[in-house]
Structures are given as structure tokens and as C-alpha cells.
Amino acid sequence: MNTTINVPTRPGVATKQPAATPNIELRLSPMYPWIVIGAGVAFLLLGLFIVAAPSKSLGRDPGILTCLASIAAIIGGNYFRHHLPVMARMTPRQLSLPGMWPRKVVIDWTNISAIDKKTVTVFHHGVRQQSEFVCIKLKNAPAADDPLSQASPTYKRFNEALMKGAKALVGGYDVVINPLDQFMRTADWFIAECKKRMPAASAQS
């Protein structure tokens, strides 16, 4: 996880006056590029085994191709690890979710009427799993910028289905976030940071 905190400075303001709500950027969990790197290493070992003990019918070519593809996956995963996309950005005025599906969402703190934590329990292959969601209810519809407007209809429908499924689990909310899966932050931490900024934004409006 990479967190960037920028504290704005203004000329003429006393240095003893701290910034109450600094900007925070939360990037995608590094778990995903590490999965790609791990898979690349596993297939690289498989490719080396094929090269070392070539099949009589296929020879060493499949092993060499597997090694090359694995090396490319490792390099790509490492690049991805150092260039993780921003999933959430908190400023004194707004909560920006550029990584939200199916579109980028920008929410003014003054537009939030309720922010709650919901714990959902599901069973996957007989295993009980719990997920904590941050659920936001808005006074007005959020400002949205659709970066998927040029994407294929199938891709857009897939992302929209994911968001509708998350909202269906909790019900009655406009925006649903899973901060632990998206950027390795707990729901309690995310809600606390939001509530720090909401009163300040209301006072300025």
C-alpha cells in the first residue's frame, strides 16, 4: 500500500498553525501485482523444469516459451507494483474515487447525509467469510465522470453489475466501498478520516 500525504502551505500563515485535514491518496492494494509476480515465478520454474528435462515429442521449445512469458509477467507485475493507480483521494472539500466502478465518483463532504459501516457475511465453497463495507448515502446524486464511455458494452455491463451487487448486499446507499480489498485500509479508519473532513467542509460552505 502506498499512501501519499500532502500538507498544503500558504504564504502568510503562521508556521505554528497545523493543517487540520491534509490531502490523502490511497492506492490499489499491492496484493494484486504480487499475485502476478508470484504466478510468473511459479511458471518460470515450470519452464526451467521443461527445459532441463525436455519431452521427446515436444523438445525444449515449450519450456523456453513458458520462461519468456513468465519473465514478461514478472517484469509487468513489478512495474505495476511501482505504478499502482489511485483508488481514493481525500481533500478538505471532496472525496474523489477515481478507481470506482463503473465510473469515477466525486463527492463533496457537504453532500453526505450518512456514512456507515456494514458487515456482510457470505459463504464461499462452504467457508464463512466476512467483508466490511463503507456505505455512503448522499443528499444529491454524485458528480460523475465516466472513463469507460469508450469501453466495450460487455465490459461496462460487467462493472455495473459488480456495483449493483455490492449495493444490493447493504441496500439504501448510493456509494459502497470495500476499503480493505481496494487499498488495505479498515472501514473504521476510512470512516474516521471522512468524518474529520465533513464538519470542516460544512463550516466553510
pLDDT in tens, 14-31: 444 444 578 899 988 888
User: pTM (2 decimals)?
Assistant: 0.65
Are 149 and 108 members of one domain? yes
Question: Per the domain annotation, does 126 fall within a domain?
Answer: yes
Average pLDDT over residues 36-65: 88
Average pLDDT over residues 111-137: 83
| Coil/strand/helix, residue 63 | helix
Structural domain contains residue 13: no
Number of domains present in the structure of the chain: 2
Residue 40's domain comprises 31-82
Quick one: 103 and 200 in the same domain? yes
CB atoms within 10 A of CB 3: 11
User: Can you tell me the mean pLDDT for 168-186?
Assistant: 82
CA torsion, ordered 83, 28, 128, 135, to nearest 10 deg:
-170
In a domain, 103, yes or no: yes
Q: Is 103 in contact with 69 (CB distance < 8 Å)?
A: no
Classify residue 95: in a domain, yes or no: yes
102 pLDDT band, cuts 50/70/90, is low
The C-alpha angle with vertex 191 and arms to 186 and 192, in degrees rounded to 5, equals: 100
Question: CB–CB of 151/103 below 8 Å?
Answer: no
Average pLDDT over residues 148-172: 55
